[in-house]
A and B are shown apart, each in its own frame.
Chain A
Amino acid sequence: MNIAHFEEHSFIYGPGCRFVIWVQGCSIRCKGCWNKEMWAFEDRIILSVKDLLLKIKNEKELIEGITLLGGEPLDQFDEIYELLVECKKLGLSTMLFTGYEMTEIIEKKMSSLLDNLDILITGRYDKTKRTMNHQWIGSTNQEIHFLTDRYADYQIENNNYTEITINEDASLTILGFPQLKTFEYETNLIANTLPKPHVPALKPKLCQRACKANAPREIV
């Protein structure tokens, strides 16, 4: 798998403490996307599903489940599918954010995924409908699907969520929808450690070639 970043423990991308994986590479590329540096199909953190599972297993006592986002997770469908199946076997809950609509997932014959997910968030990021006040979604057109009963009683709380991690070396990791001006001083401190926003130089066709194994089934 080509991964942009992962957090072993996060509390804002789904219920409870979760192992969160941002995949690298996105064929959808919504205008106004927050994570442009995750668009390119260039190698970032390359891990086999088996190795990633080992990392997840190491945290099993502390986490409730895994969450996948990106980038576009479904651009690495085979690996994502395998990962979700294995995580389900471990008893972990599964959650995935995709830019595809539910109808597209079915049309693209990726619906087998749905049997292995507890929560699915679908839909393009639409900057005209941007929200920082809803739980889990970045624009109000996006939809949250509870696909199993596991979180049937879960109450969505529409607030602004930000997670700041103070690492052991005193560096900070800020996740979620931070209103950065509030933490200007601290974010200035981390500016040097975060990957710089990167607009990929590769054209879409080259993108597919560069990432042949993980190439999306269809480019939208």
Chain B
Amino acid sequence: MADTPMVSLTIEGRQVQVPAGTSILEAAKVAGVLVPHYCYHPGLPVAGVCRMCLVEVEKSPKLAPACATSVAEGQIVHVHSEASLKARQGVLELLLINHPLDCPICDQSGECELQDYTFREGRAEGRLGPDPKRFNPVEDFGGDVLYVPNRCILCTRCVRFMDDVVHDPVLNVSERGDRALIGKFEGQDLTHEWAPNVVDLCPVGALLSKDFLNKARAWELDRTPSICPNCTQGCNAIFETRDNVVVRMRPRSNADVNQWYLCESGRLDYKWLSPATRIEAPLVRHGDKLSAVDWESAIRAAATTLGGARVVALVSPMLSNESLHLAARVVAKTGGTGVFRVRTGPEAPLEGVPDLALRTERAANVKGAELLGFTKSASPLDTLASGDVLLVIGETLTAADAPALARAGKVIVIGTSLPDEARGATVALPSSTMAEEEGTFTNLRGRVQRYMQATAAPGMTRPAWWILADLLTQLGEPTATFLASEVFAALAASHPAFAGMSYDTLGLKGQIMSGEPAAQEAAR
């Protein structure tokens, strides 16, 4: 980096200095100026086909495509001069020639870049007159993707993405002229794990997610920064909610983790974040029945249950660092053991991005669980001896767990639901899903990342860390933590891997733990 010469230029009256070889479009970002564009994307090879980014460069006879033109010393660039505005208005008008007036029924409406720029800079009226628009029927591209050719502006982001980032060139541009459309080959579909990113990349409503089809309007959605919880990669995500239900997961860019992408398995597995059936009040067994009680009574009952027997804590690797930290302290306090299991699946890398894959371990915080002293095992409940107390925290119980549950002397469940297998539990404490709380995960590379609360926790449910803090206090180890950040601070103070970290230092991009290879690389 040290040897790259710098170039100074002026963009919209602002002076900037950027490394030689930077495009005018990227230099404009540095200057805080957005050059409107469609086909350009920082993760894709430059195409220069949409022609939206034409800017005026003084002393140049023609307008220059900002995405495909390198900066030159002393250039004076105008993005909003009359010539540039006219050229952009021309592009917008021509894009709308064959583009149907689908806004009322198009999923993209409200987050459509064609709408956005047309509203800002386009013509107020169309003048196509009686001339007909071209028509092609909707196509199923396979996987989660639908293609609506009529809306396509031929920016070719999807084709370049599949070619150069996914390395699975199943999309092409077919035909010529205004008959052109995106095509594929019969029998070869967008079934690649990373293919649905074309839906995000598409600036308009030409590529749509079948999962999201007609589900919600973009302006009805609230958006919260979060982390995809479905594997150990820790891709940064945005949880989009409507009426307090997560309806979509979109990628949030992080150059060090997932660039601009989310895999299909991860992004489509969000329904469990808003479970339909769940327990919403603490339950305590009285005789052969479970009754709803207040939190204090429930905590007392749980603490009593934990006393005097061997405790096996089965935690979920989906729990936050905060919850796992307090869970570990509960385990230590009771002199028990902590175990966890994790569902696995095949790894699916995104070839064109370094170190990005759908990971085999399909939970967000395996590393956190390991660091905090929990033992990973394929059948962790084998260690449960007859009469032991089983403390389940966040882990989903299934019919396969029935023998272990039967062996256990007593069962305490902290979770969102109480399955039939666990109806014999002594105490059931309702916890929130990760969408209903804030916290942190540690990804497989030791990056600690924050996620924010996207939905309100229903009924009397509480984050697991809050339940565990109260439990710990009841067990004789008072914790004066009332916020997730305070729990994290306690964790950072007591565990060397997390030393020096706080919610402030983590920000929204995360931080690599000291001692991890990546941190050493960054420090160099």
Tell whether A and B belong to one assembly: no
Residues of A participating in the B interface, judged by any CB pair closer than 8 Å: none
